[in-house]
Amino acid sequence: MSNHIIAVPNSVDLASFIGKKGSENSITFYNRSLDGNVITALVPTSVEDKFYAISEILTISETIVLSTENMDRLFGELLVASKLLDKGVILSSENADSEIIKNAGLSNYKVCDRDTLLETILSMGKKSNPGETCRVDIDKAFNVKGIGAVALGVVISGTINVHDELWHSSGKKILVRSLQSQDVDVKTAGPGTRIGIGLKNIEPEAIEKGSIICSLQHTVHKRIKIRIKLADINKEQLEPGKFYGLGSNFSYSMAKMESMDGDNVTFALEKPLSVLEGDECLFIREALPRIFASGKIIKLL
């Protein structure tokens, strides 16, 4: 059995075909079980009101699924973001022979129609290793009567087990009381799993969207150093004092550029974020394309 987290940033229709609608905040989740495999599709709930959600779903997903039905401004921006992240991309077949796509410079993409979409998703490679450090990124938390705090998230790496003692970004050491995937109680969950976690020793109010549950002790950070990669079509020079939106997994904050040394840029964050060294991020601005750079966090300050 394998679990796949995919981003579908420009088509609710495609996401609805892939799976059944589940939980919703700035991101809507669609889930499907298929021959023992599970696919979870992430969709921005409102691109107009919460564009930052696109940066979150693109960074946390293994594979990006783009609809080519509307070759609009958003589609062009998504091509830029997909190239920056260099992840596997699946394109729907409507306009996949467009010159826009041919000139986008994508290094790893496939074209398919709906009849083969699900099997194409399952065929895309997975990078995560179950032997790595356990890490779960959280998008929602709430109280359940008789259980207590329950967090919803995605297993990014390693394996989470019932009775594990793990660390939360708040600094609290917590106990995993129960696990649930696709409405079924499980004892363990590996990379790519959309998981519900019953927790002990923490209140729901302390579990923010974007926080991390991890086997390593960690905390939130307000200053980070990032190795940045600018889009080929970007014409704007980065300058100290400028603000940019920074999205990484389920976290987002405005970031003020402090200094630059080659490709290494130091940012001060308006909101402390739960991030770890090695995490990918995307940068957002007002000018087009709104997503104009990616980066890898190289140091937490």
For 221-300, CATH gives 2.40.30.10
Q: What percent of the chain has pLDDT over 70?
A: 98
Residue 114, Cβ neighbours under 10 Å: how many? 11
Q: Where in the chain are the domains?
A: 3-123, 135-214, 221-300
pLDDT band at 81 (very low <50, low <70, confident <90, very high): very high
Instruction: Pull the structure tokens for residue 1.
Output: 């059995």
The answer on pLDDT for 130 being more than 60 is no
pLDDT at position 139: 96
Which pLDDT tens digit goes with each residue over 23-37?
Answer: 999 999 999 998 889
Distance between CA atoms of residues 79 and 10, nearest Å: 11
What angle is formed at CA 160 by the lines to CA 3 and CA 185, rounded to 5 degrees? 70
What angle is formed at CA 171 by the lines to CA 281 and CA 161, rounded to 5 degrees? 80
Tell me which residue of 269, 80, 129 sits closest to 297, measured CA to CA: 269
Fold of 3-123: Rossmann fold (3.40.50)
Residue 100, Cβ neighbours under 10 Å: how many? 12
Domain 3-123 and domain 221-300 have a common topology:
no
pLDDT at position 36: 87
Class of domain 135-214: mainly beta
